[in-house]
Amino acid sequence: MARVNISIPDSLYERLDRQRDRINASRVCASALEKELDMIEGRTAVADPEIAQLVQRLQTARERWYKRGREDGKRWAVQIASRQELYRAKDYMEGEDGAELAEALRDRHERLRTILGGYDFEAAINRWVQEDKTGVEFRLERDDHDEDESFQRADREARPDVDAAGYMEGWRDVIDEIWQVVSAALR
């Protein structure tokens, strides 16, 4: 976990010091920073479950899959990735747009899995598909006779709202953001 020093007014510090046994300052600061960043990045949290459902319904497939890619990428980086895997993932994805990353996912799936320590994109995407309760599986298969067209056609027919490019852009962006923080702290 990264460490950050913050500066607060003396009067606030005195109040905090009196309540130190009742308050976790790190947790409070992390929560406040997360809310502020969500607001700046346009990811405001919605407390009302019905409004949250509305937001999800109104999101484009690209927005929904980008967010899912960010969540999966963050989970992998924080809970699973070694320092070397995180660096290799950042290096591999850097400068690639979503379409290029989605193509790499289809064509070089095993290479990408190796770089990410065995991460199974197909299974991750299928967990989201199951959450959507559609029951249709996403497959990374392609017909070697007519590579691009047959894969795109099969993908469109099987899962018209799986946006692999958006998902991979979410992965790329969160891995880059995490690496920026982690690499500075590891120096």
pLDDT of residue 6: 87
Buried b (16+ CB within 10 A) or exposed e, 15-40: eeeeeeeeeeeeeeeeeeeeeeeeee
pLDDT of residue 157: 46
CA distance 39 to 47: 14
Length of the chain equals 187
Residue ranges of the domains in the chain?
8-45, 47-186
| CB 129 within 8 Å of CB 162 | yes
In this prediction, residue 172 carries a pLDDT of: 93
Q: What is the pLDDT of residue 165?
A: 92
Phi then psi for 94, rounded to 5 degrees?
-60, 130
- Dihedral sign computed on CA atoms, order 69, 105, 125, 110: negative
3-state secondary structure of 9: coil
Cβ neighbours of residue 104 under 8 Å, at least 6 residues apart? Answer: 96, 111, 112, 168
Note the pLDDT tens digit of each residue in 151-177. Answer: 444 444 444 578 999 999 999 999 999
Model-wide pTM > 0.85: no
Parts of the chain with a pLDDT under 70: 39-46, 133-160
Q: What tens digit of pLDDT does each residue of 73-94 get?
A: 999 999 999 999 999 999 999 9
